[in-house]
Structure 1
Amino acid sequence: MTRLGKRTLIGIIFVPILLFIYYLGGLTLQIFVSLLTILGVREFVIILKKKGINIHFIPVLVASLIINWFMYFFNFNNIIFLYIGFCILIISYDIFSNNINQASERAAYSMFILIYIPLLLEFIYLLRQLENGRFLLIFLVILVWITDTGAYFVGVKCGKHSNIFKSSKKKSVEGFIGGFVTAFIFTYIGAILIYQIWNFRFSWNDIFAYTVIVGIFGQVGDLMESILKRDFNIKDFSNLLSEHGGILDRFDSIMTSAPLLYCYFTIIR
């Protein structure tokens, strides 16, 4: 089977499952987010180990899951104090370790993991729990997929300026702009369809927010992931999803879009 065939088959199998989990929300979605956290932390730790940096996997994983479930029970309140506490504990862990080499690298990567993986992923659940969160989350996920596809095809057909984004030689300015335009077009079309079918209205401010967050910051999330992969000299974080890469490869845009969209609907709107 060709690479495109494998990607398509995996998409056909997993997309309906993902959308159903997002539709259900609640505890089912929270357990799913925790599973993503476990797999994401594992991917990151394995890559670090290949680079010669051995962080304390179990303490970081336990702290990550506690962050997940703390946000599940108490929302986003006081999470900064929990995070600071975990950072101190993880750094202090080396006091009792026989290996103090690379202590600063372990501490830095551990603190980064606690923000990048459990904290950002948990906003998938928090966004779903908002009023009309079912529409907000599913619309976001579909829009991210469509934007990524639009950016890819515009980049392939029209991409000429690929030296701007140093993090990824495959990303072109034309592809980035194509992704943004795709985000706007399908946000507008999606808003009309959602109103006609479910009588849920998106304002022009909502359409603008989705366009900017997905069309710009969603793609920035993908570029951020590319920076990490270039630093680690890898193509993907894992082959868990075959041609789609690993969990961190597939959820990079969601991990930057969901927190910003949550902030928009809870603070700005």
Structure 2
Amino acid sequence: MREVAILAVNKKNLFIRTLSGFILGPVVVFSVFTFPTTIGLVTTIVLLTAMEYFEMTLDNIDHKIKIFLSLMAAFTSAVYGFTLRTYYAGLIFFDPITIYVMSIVIVALISLFILKDNIKYKNVITSYTYALMAISLFLSYFYHIILNYGFTTGLLALTSVWVYDIGAYFVGLNIGKHKLAPVYSPKKSIEGFIGGIIFTYVYIIIFEYIREIFDLNMIDPLRAIIFAIAIGIVDTVGDLTESALKRTYNLKDSGEILPGHGGMYDRIDGVLYLAPTFYFLMKILRV
């Protein structure tokens, strides 16, 4: 009886997740078809994710400071995006990554005068540096993907993570029996992991078949295997990393902004690790 009740709850959660995905999905998809809207999308996601992250990690810090840190992380991502486009056009000659270095310096300087407390200062700088790298910079690799390989490739990178999540959740819910990482995420199963990879591979093949009609295809079936496996691995690593972080602070979700998904960080934890991985795979495999 208890197992039937749990299954019913899980299926209800799946329905809510799917419904919210159908509502939010088109907004995200259409946002990646122009570079300015892509910057707007990434900046918004960075802002919301950073706010959730700082709420988790900086419990004893004034809320206004956490808002400032979140705005700085988002602003840095936006400036990086526009600067990167200018850099690829050959109009500037300094490395755009310098913007991230300067962001840390600015926050460190301001925090030094505002906090006036060694422990709080250390916590703020440590937390901000992590958020700037693992959230803002990692997600900003979508700029590199789009500027180098086009908007449809950026769309593939983004949606392939969704497909993996849906496939892994569906397979794990129905036939998952062997735990993948019970310490960090008891609900994840090896069957779900493999099922998600298979779903992702099929999706990439279909996506590339459609792109071939418009002479836009880039990833052949053999390389698609590598991409599908990589997506499965990095998405799982991202999810387990966030799960470990939430367990450290005794939280179930990072927030409540997305019905059925929890917070923004819960939704994009895999995307954060996928964006740079996808870009470097495109480079390494000479796609």
Same fold (TM over 0.5): yes
Q: Do 1:45 and 1:54's aligned partners in 2 also have CA atoms closer than 8 Å?
A: no
Instruction: State whether structure 2 residue 56 is matched by structure 1 residue 47.
Output: yes
Instruction: Give the structure 1 partner of residue 265 of structure 2.
Output: 248
Instruction: State whether structure 2 residue 44 is matched by structure 1 residue 35.
Output: yes
Aligned partners of 1:208, 1:184: CA distance in 2, in Å?
6
Instruction: Give the structure 2 partner of residue 183 of structure 1.
Output: 200
| 1:1-269 matched pairs, under 5 angstroms | 3-22=13-32, 24-49=33-58, 51-52=59-60, 56-75=65-84, 78-96=95-113, 97-131=115-149, 133-162=150-179, 164-195=181-212, 197-201=213-217, 202-204=219-221, 206-266=223-283, 268-269=285-286
- Runs of 4 or more consecutive aligned structure 1 residues displaced over 6 Å after TM superposition: none
Aligned partners of 1:248, 1:46: CA distance in 2, in Å?
12
1:129 alignment partner AA = L
Q: Any unmatched runs of 5+ in structure 2?
A: 1-11, 88-93
Aligned partners of 2:281, 2:198: CA distance in 1, in Å?
21
Count of aligned residue pairs for this structure pair: 265
Percent identity between the aligned chains? Answer: 28
Q: Do 1:94 and 1:100's aligned partners in 2 also have CA atoms closer than 8 Å?
A: no
1:121 alignment partner AA = L
1:61 alignment partner AA = S
Q: Do 1:40 and 1:117's aligned partners in 2 also have CA atoms closer than 8 Å?
A: yes
Residue by residue, what CA displacement relative to the aligned partner does 1:61-99 show, whole Å, maximum 9, x if unpaired?
Answer: 343134213321332863444333333443344432244
Aligned partners of 1:182, 1:9: CA distance in 2, in Å?
20
The RMSD of aligned alpha carbons is 2.7
Q: Do 1:217 and 1:257's aligned partners in 2 also have CA atoms closer than 8 Å?
A: yes
2:76 alignment partner AA = I
1:74 alignment partner AA = T
2:238 alignment partner AA = G
TM-score normalised per structure 1: 0.85
TM-score normalised per structure 2: 0.80
1:5 is displaced (CA, Å) by: 4.1
- Relative to structure 1, the CA distance from residue 206 to residue 176 in structure 2 (aligned partners, 3 Å threshold; closer, same or farther) is same
Q: Do 1:221 and 1:255's aligned partners in 2 also have CA atoms closer than 8 Å?
A: yes
Aligned partners of 2:184, 2:109: CA distance in 1, in Å?
33
